[in-house]
Amino acid sequence: MDKRISWIITLLLVATFISSPSFAASSAKIIASFSVIEDLVKRVAGDDISITTIVPIGEDVHRWELTPPNVLAVEEADIVFYNGHGLEPWIRHLKAMASDRLTLVALAEMADYPTLTLQQGQYEGSPDPHMWMAPQGAAAYIDVITHTLSARFPERADAFRTRAEEAKDALSLLDQQVIERLEGIPHTNRLITMSEAALSYFAHAYGFEFAAIWGLNSETMGSAHDMASMSERLVDKRPPALFFESTTPDIHMDALARETGLTLAGPLYVDTLSEADGPAYNYPALLHHTTELLHEALGGARAEE
């Protein structure tokens, strides 16, 4: 089967379970910290539960500041799903204003998935929060979401579990297709280099080496020392391309690309989805876009394209 047709089948499968019949409209109100979390919650909650997202699409989840509409939404919410492990520094303000009836759920901290640690930057040695960038990590989020919603709304537990199993089946298929699409990239080219340490879980899942200038976008970006260290590494490794993210100015990666004569590719979507007409309009599309970008930039095999 043509690999691109296979991708389309996967995305259609995902769309099918998203649009499955839902219960009657409900007054239950859920908050997701950013768009990727919202997408995963919707896959379990269905259309009968209202979901509000704090950080808009395209904004940096690390550097967001709560707005009055955010505060009002929190006051009316039943559950807040956020990532945790320091991804959302502003969550401490949300916790301070939360009522006793509000349930706060840190998905990465509660997920049954091996945690990697940041290897550079101000938070070196701390848990890497970007767990969703491996489909298996996203599936672990689905389990936490399902347990939380089922406990809060037991009358809908069967529907939640059904949607969750469909979502996890689709993620398993997506995982296999990512493996197949990336397997033709030569071993000598399998280095992902970007500004923030946001693809460690993806790199670990699919057999890539990973390098970043800093750990999290919430810290000081691109010090002279960090830029010099990365420049030295690139001179030694010489990967086919460097990458930049959609939510981070590309000034640092562009400077490194110019200095080393390497190609700059992107954007990669990590901490946000794209708009509906963009390449990362939902979670499966985000992984698909990441995979295709790496395939093209790092020299994937051309057969069956």
Domains of the chain, each with CATH number or no CATH: 3-179 (3.40.50.1980), 183-297 (3.40.50.1980)
Taking only the tens place, the pLDDT of each residue in 27-59 is 789 999 999 999 999 999 998 788 999 999 999
Q: Quote the pLDDT of residue 6.
A: 55
Q: Quote the pLDDT of residue 141.
A: 98
What is the mean predicted confidence (pLDDT) over 262-281? Answer: 97
Q: Quote the pLDDT of residue 220.
A: 73
pTM above 0.85, yes or no: yes
Which range among 13-22, 98-107, 180-189, 246-255 shows the weakest confidence by mean pLDDT? 13-22
Beta strands in the chain (DSSP E): 29-32, 50-53, 79-82, 103-106, 191-196, 209-214, 241-245, 263-268
Q: Is the Cα dihedral 256, 258, 260, 263 positive or negative?
A: positive
Instruction: List the one residue out of 286, 293, 252, 298 whose CA is nearest residue 130.
Output: 286
